[in-house]
Chain A
Amino acid sequence: MGERILLIEDDPQLGAQIADFLGRAGFEPTWWTGGRPLQPGESSAYGLIILDLMLPGTYGLDILRQLREGSDVPVLILSARNDTADKVRALKLGADDYMTKPFWPEELVERVRARLRRPVMQRQSLLEIGALQVDLQSREVRVEGKPVELTRVEFDLLAALAKRPGAAVTRQWLVENVLDPEREGSERTLDVHVSRLRRKLGPGKHVETVWGIGYRLGEGGET
């Protein structure tokens, strides 16, 4: 089962909707319709807390302040007010993210995922993206366990993308940081290296072209 998420939202419709979406996205939501101080240790049961700023009777920021005295569970603030001062205050008090109403449920789920993913460091020398394994130390690459021979430039290119899986990297950056500065480096040269790399990695969209930007390392499926 997914991560437990505490939702504190007084509006019955919005609360039900959010809880529903979180459940469908694979999380395990707990929904409180009123704000009350969390007992010590209570917050550790949850992977993340979604807190509405305008609750009847209590001020959301007070709950946040009280929560932050003994816990560093990620907190996502919901507010109807798109006011920088509110936002700055909430972030200062230790909120991790701030969302303004209205929002799309997908957007909220996306933010929750991003927040839960964030602490995981991608800094080990062996990177695994789908069927792809990239060992930065030994400069070895395997697809479904089978080693793949790459040139220096091709490996650097793949490593650069593998260090930020799922993130698009611009052609410009790749030309400047991956291609050999001694030799003539251009975006066309880069595209040639990419097409060779794709051929060597075999079927499956490992290296995706991102329109208007450059390239990205995907999961390798047929997305």
Chain B
Amino acid sequence: MKLRMRLALTTVAVAIPVALCMAWIHRAVEARALETALSEYALVHMLSGGRERCEAAPESWSSEPRGPPPPGEWKEPGSRPPPEWRSGGPPPLPPGGGGPGGPGGPRPPRGTRLFAYDSELSARNPAAPRLDASLVEAMRRGQDVASLSSGFGMREPRRILVRMPWGTGPCAFVLVHWPERSGPREKFPSIPLEFWLFPSVLALAGVLFALGPVVGRLRQLTREVRTFVGSAYQGSITLRGNDEISELARAFDEAGHEVRSQMELKEKREQTLRSFLENTTHDVMIPLTVLQGHLAELQQRAARGETVEASVVAAASQEAHYMAALIHNLGAAARLEAGEPSVQRAPVDLNALVERCIGRHRPIARGQGVQLDYAVPEAPVRVIGDDTLIEQAVSNVIYNAVRYNTRGGHVAVVLERLPSNTFRLRVLDDGPGIPENELSHVVERRVRGDAARTRGPGGHGLGLNIAWRVSVLHDWRLQLGPSEYGGLQVDFLGELPPPS
């Protein structure tokens, strides 16, 4: 539903009950005025000769006024409406009563009769109606006037009992009988049109007039937001002011900028991911190509019935091993990029971990003619950390030591408890090592751009970078240096959890 329609309906819905309420008050006041007028009429009638006539023949006295009441005494019921009604139109007349009937004022309507009752509230005149219990009760309580009506509205029959000032004799109380008027009975008060129509129309017009600029601004805001969204959140919303609509506009503007910055971030990440994927593909494709070359050579030799050279098989194995290590590293890199939530913290048995790493690389070391040995303390060394990440880190260092070693070389892995509740996991080799000035760069290579291309001479890149990042993640230190045997020595140094 449109805003205007909604507000117009609301206005109408409020105006109708208010108008009904006012009409009811109007009717109540009118009825009260009628009662007052009739009781005053009775009093005046009795004072101006009625009492004498009544007391003279109480058995038959009943008066139907014929002549006009004394001037100024009789007023038309409803001639004293509340001031605000005056502006609404002419006050309603009692039904059946005419307009002003003469110079002395109107006479009461035809059929109005008076009956007299004595101080005990019993009538001498047999024609007098029986008094209702509520009227009797009201008089006994000491009221001067009591009224009874069988319905709401001016057409209903009405009885008004009036206490006379003398209070004794056969005519101590006078009942004014107001007969039923002709015309349909009113269940509900009829409401003059002007009462509700005029104020309602005025309120409606006011509401619609005030709403005009608001609707205009809202439409403008809608147009601007559509343009803003259509331009992929470029630019900004220009609607200004200091009302709630401009606040909404500012909120839209802020939301748009937030969306835009998130989109830019996402795009940047996608770009990184794309280049990472390209580099990774490159990295995997090379060993795969080399492996295919080796396999082709083996196939040809086998087809020709020649003996297969062990070195070709070993080289093929190495390529396969390299690919496996690379893919594991990519998985580890992804988890490290994702950050803390994907990292587990659980007890890790470093002894078993070292044994697993040795088991993984021993076949390839054997094929390459490199002696791979390890030593662990008799009692397991336990730390808290992420098992697979630590294994990948240690495995990388061992693999590098094996891979870049020469035939007849050695690699040793030593896990030791050190004093002051720390441990050291050392991997040392007698391979070519890394020049001192390159040591610091080797670790800091990030998995970005060309750095992901880890292959090639001295390409320790990704593997060592992961070892370093895993160490940082576990609050360990990764120390690289020349070993006493001329190769590389890599130490993982960390604290042990306090003995429980």
Identify the A interface with B (CB < 8 A).
Answer: 82-85, 87-88, 100, 102-104, 106-107, 110-111, 114, 163-164, 167-170, 172-173, 210-214
- A-B CB pair tally, cutoff 8 Å: 77
Main secondary structure of the interface of A (DSSP, over half): mixed
Quick check: B344 and A88 within 8 Å, CB to CB? Answer: yes
Contact A100 B373 (CB under 8 A): no
Q: What residues of A have a CB within 8 angstroms of the CB of B485 in the complex?
A: 212
CA distance A63 to B371 in the complex (A): 39
The reply to whether B410 and A212 contact each other, CB–CB distance below 8 Å, is: yes
Give Cα A84 to B344, complex, Å: 7
Q: Is B198 close to A, CB under 8 A?
A: no
The one of B343, B377, B388 that contacts A87, using a Cβ cutoff of 8 Å = B388
Q: In the complex, A82→B386 CA distance in Å?
A: 12
Q: Tell me the complex Cα distance, A110–B360, Å.
A: 10
Decide if B475 is an interface residue (CB 8 Å cutoff). Answer: no
Q: How far is the CB of B365 from chain A (nearest CB, A)?
A: 11
How far is it, in angstroms, between the C-alpha of A83 and the C-alpha of B321 when the chains are bound? 19
Of B346, B378, B392, the residue contacting A164 (CB under 8 A) is B378
A158 → B minimal CB distance (Å): 16
Please name the residue on chain A nearest to B360 by beta carbon: A107
Contact of A212 among B320, B356, B386, B428 (CB under 8 A): B428
Known contacts A107-B362, A170-B414, A172-B416; A88 and B346 CB within 8 A of each other:
yes
| A residues in contact with B164, CB < 8 Å | none
7 A-B contacts (beta carbon < 8 Å): A82-B328, A84-B343, A84-B389, A87-B387, A88-B387, A107-B363, A164-B378
Task: Judge if B324 is at the interface, Cβ distance under 8 Å.
Answer: yes
Would you list which residues of chain B between 348 and 402 have a CB under 8 Å from chain A?
355-356, 359-360, 362-364, 371, 373-378, 386-389, 392
Question: Residue among B376, B389, B485 with the most chain A CB within 10 A?
Answer: B376
Complex Cα distance, B365 from A110, in Å, reads 15
List the A side residues contacting B356 at CB < 8 Å. Answer: 111
Q: Given the complex, which residues of B lie within 8 Å of A214, measured CB to CB?
A: 375
Task: Identify the closest chain B residue to A85 (Cβ).
Answer: B344
Shortest 4 CB-CB contacts between residues of A and residues of B: A212-B412, A104-B363, A211-B410, A168-B375
Contact indicator A212/B414 (Cβ below 8 Å): yes
Residues of A within 8 A of B386 (CB): 84
Q: Whose C-beta in chain B lies nearest to the C-beta of A103?
A: B360
Q: Give the complex CA separation of A87 and B387 in angstroms.
A: 8
Contacts of B96 in A (CB 8 A): none
What does the 1/0 interface line of B454-487 toward A look like (CB < 8 Å)? 0000000000000000000000000000010100
Shortest Cβ distance from B428 into A: residue: A212
A88 contacts which chain B residues (CB < 8 A)? Answer: 344, 346, 387
Instruction: Flag whether B331 is at the interface (Cβ < 8 A).
Output: yes
Shortest Cβ gap from B315 to chain A (Å) = 15
Which A residues are in CB contact (< 8 Å) with B428? Answer: 212
